[in-house]
Structure 1
C-alpha cells in the first residue's frame, strides 16, 4: 500500500521559513561530485590524489550541511557507469572509501549523522560491504543528518527495479495496473524512506544529471558550479544555500 504523497509523509520535519512562505533551507541536498581527476591532472598529480582531496571535501560538505540545518544529504559517490574506469582507479576509490569508513566513522557518529547506502553495494568486495554494513548499523539511530551514499547507483536502474517490484505485485494479484500511481512508485524506489531532493548541485562545470536520482529530481532546483569537487568547501556550500534561498519553487504552478 502506498504511504501517501511525499509532502505529507515528511511534513513532520521543521524547516526555516522564507519571508512570505517557503523554506529558506533545503531539506534534502543531492551532490554530483565531479572533477577529482581534472583537479589532479591540473597539478601534475595522479588521479588518486584528486580522489583523496575529494574525500576531504566530503567531510567539509557534511559539516557544512549540519551547520546549515540540512536534514538529508545524498552524494553520488560511484555511478553504475564508473565500473568502466580502469581497475586501478576503481581500486583507489574503493580503498579510499574503506579507509574513511574505518577512520572517520566516529566523527560522523559524533555529529549525529546517519549513514545509508543506495545502489548496488553487492558489486563491491566483501571487505567494503562489511564496512558499509557496520557503518549503517552504528549510525542507525542518529537524527541530525541522513547521509546517503549512492554506490554503483543509476537512476534508470532504480526505476527499473521499482517497475519489477510492482510487476510482481500485479502478477500476484496484490494490486491492479490501474492502481499504480506516482506515490506507489515512490514507495518502491531505493529512496522511499527519504524526501525527494530540493536541490541538486553538480561541480566541475558540467550541466547534466548523469543518471542521478532521475525520478526524484523532477522538481529539484539545479545548480551547476565551475568549481572542481576537491575545491568545494564551506564557502561553496554557503553559496549554493544562498542561491537556493532566493529561488521561487512553483512545482508547475503559476507565479504568485
Structure 2
C-alpha cells in the first residue's frame, strides 16, 4: 500500500511539472514582432542580373511575397505591411507602370480566394482614388471579403507615400474644423491610413539600400530597422528568421534610458 501511495505521489508531481511548463511553451510560440513592415526592393536588379525585363523581376517579387506571408504566419507574426507601389513610382517609364498595375490586378484575381481560405485579412494603404475604377473595385472587394479573417493581416501599401499620407490627414483635420489647441499626436494618428493599426515593431529593407524611401514615416518613428543585401525576389524563410533573430538582440527604449539591474545607464 505504501509503495502504491508513493507511485501515485510521483505521478502527481510529474503532472504538476508538466502543467507548470505549459505556459513557457505557449510564450515561445508568440513572435516578439507583432507588426512587420517591409520595403520590397531589388526586383529590377534581380531581373537585370538574369537579363530579363524588369516586369519579370516584379513577378518574381510577387512570388516572394506569397512565401513571406506563409512564413510570417508560421512565425506567429500578426501583421505585415508591404511597400508595393509608391506615389513616386508614377514617374517610372510608362510601360513599367502599366505592367505593375496589370500585375496588381492579376494578383488580386489569382490569389484572393486562397488568401481568404488561408485566413489572411487584406487592407489597402494609400490613395485609392488615383487607381482605375476596376482596380479600385477589386481592392474594395478583396478588403470586404477578408475583413473578418484573423490568421494574419496583410496591409498592401499601393500608391502610398508617407508624406502624402500626412498631407491627406492634415487636409481632413482642417476640413473637420479641428482647433489648433486640440491637435495632438493621438489625433493625427487617428487620421492616418493606419488609424486603427499598431505601429510596426520592425522595418526590413531588402537589396542593401539604406533609405527610408517615404515609407510609414510617422508610424516607424521608433521601429527597429534591418537591412539585408538579399534582393527581394530571393528573400525567404531563412532571411526572415535572421531578421527576427536580430530583433530579439535589440533593446527598444523609445527615447528613454535603459537602466540595468546594476544601476548603470545605457
Instruction: Give the TM interval when normalised to the shorter protein.
Output: 0.7 to 0.9
Partners of 1:233 and 1:55 in 2: CA distance: 12
SS of equivalent residue, structure 2 residue 176:
helix
Paired residue for 1:253? 256
Paired residue for 1:118? 125
- Structure number with greater Rg is 2
Where structure 2 has 5 or more consecutive residues not aligned to the other structure, the ranges are 1-25, 260-266
Paired residue for 1:231? 234
Pair 1:200-2:207 in alignment? no
CA RMSD of aligned residues (A): 1.5
207-216 or 92-101: which moved more?
A: 92-101
More helix by share: 2
CA pair 161-64 structure 1, distance change in 2 beyond 3 A: same
- TM-score normalised to structure 2 length: 0.84
4+ aligned runs moved over 6 Å, structure 1? none
Paired residue for 2:53? 46
Paired residue for 2:172? 165
Paired residue for 2:5? none
Partners of 1:131 and 1:168 in 2: CA distance: 29
**Alignment check: 8 A CA contact 1:66 1:144 kept:** yes
Partners of 1:249 and 1:109 in 2: CA distance: 34
Q: Any residues of structure 2 matched to 1:12-23 within 5 Å, and which?
A: none
Paired residue for 2:114? 107
Paired residue for 2:135? 128
The higher relative CO (CA closer than 8 Å, separation ≥ 6) is in 1
- TM-score normalised to structure 1 length: 0.87
Partners of 1:127 and 1:169 in 2: CA distance: 30
